[in-house]
Amino acid sequence: MRDDECGALHLGAKACGGPAFFVPYSANADTTRLFQLAARHRRLSRERLEATQAIGDCRVETPPPVACLAGRCRFTDSTETAAEAPAPAPADRE
């Protein structure tokens, strides 16, 4: 696996909008199904936030760099070098 086969998938939702967190993923996986499940997770997270009238910090979360380390897609820190990640996951398609 190569660095350019890894990406950061956004999950969850924040009360002010945007993703709650990211997980690394491999473009070699069944990304169609993965993106469908991620969209469902975001939708359910938003519904829960609305139902509980949650308040958020409105901080914008940005995807961390991702690279292939020891054969797996992992987040890297600023001291490691990651190649360009694949295109971000598509927006909700539900």
Give domain status of residue 89, yes or no.
Answer: no
When divided into structural domains, the chain yields a total of: 1
Give domain status of residue 52, yes or no.
Answer: yes
Q: What are the distances in angstroms from CA 44 to CA 38, 40, 48, 60, 64?
A: 10, 6, 6, 20, 23
Per the structure, the complete domain to which residue 26 belongs is given by 3-75
What does residue 76 show for φ and ψ, rounded to 5 degrees? -115, 160
Give domain status of residue 94, yes or no.
Answer: no
Give domain status of residue 71, yes or no.
Answer: yes
pLDDT in tens, 14-68: 999 899 999 999 999 899 999 999 999 999 999 999 999 998 888 888 899 999 9
Beta strands in the chain (DSSP E): 6-11, 21-26, 66-69, 72-75
Its pTM stands at 0.73
Under the banding of pLDDT at 50, 70 and 90, the label for residue 83 is very low
Give domain status of residue 53, yes or no.
Answer: yes
Give domain status of residue 90, yes or no.
Answer: no
Give domain status of residue 65, yes or no.
Answer: yes
